[in-house]
Amino acid sequence: MMSGAERRKKILEMMREASAPLSGGALGKATGVSRQVVVQDIALLRTEGHPILATARGYILDQPKHAVRRFKTHHATERTEEELTLIVDLGGCVLDVMVNHRVYGKISAPLNIKNRRDVQHFMENLRTGKSTPLLNVTSGYHFHNVSADSEEILDEIEAALKEHNFLSEIFPYEIEAI
pLDDT in tens, 85-133: 999 999 999 999 999 888 888 888 899 999 999 999 999 988 987 677 8
- Listed residues 61, 80, 103: the one ending a domain: 61
Whether the CB-CB separation of 112 and 49 falls below 8 Å is answered with: yes
From the list 151, 82, 66, the residue with the least C-alpha distance to 116 is: 82
Average pLDDT, the chain: 90
pLDDT of residue 176: 58
- Any idea what the CATH number is for the domain that residue 57 is in? 1.10.10.10
Are 43 and 100 contained in the same domain? Answer: no
Phi and psi at residue 150, to the nearest 5°: -155, 165
Q: What is the DSSP code (8-state) at residue 22?
A: B
- Put residue 68 in one of left, alpha, beta given phi > 0 → left and psi -120 to 50 → alpha: beta
- Asked if 38 and 24 count as a contact pair (C-beta separation under 8 A), the reply is yes
Domain count, the chain: 2
Binding residues for Ni(2+): 75, 83, 142, 144
75-90 residue pLDDT tens: 999 999 999 999 999 9
pLDDT of 154 > 90? The answer is yes
Going by the annotation, the residues of the binding site are 75, 83, 142, 144
Q: Are residues 104 and 171 in the same domain?
A: yes
Would you say 71 and 144 are in contact if contact means Cβ atoms under 8 Å apart?
yes
- Identify the band that residue 160 occupies on the pLDDT scale cut at 50, 70 and 90: very high
Residues 14-51: tens digit of each pLDDT = 998 887 899 999 999 999 999 999 999 999 999 888 89
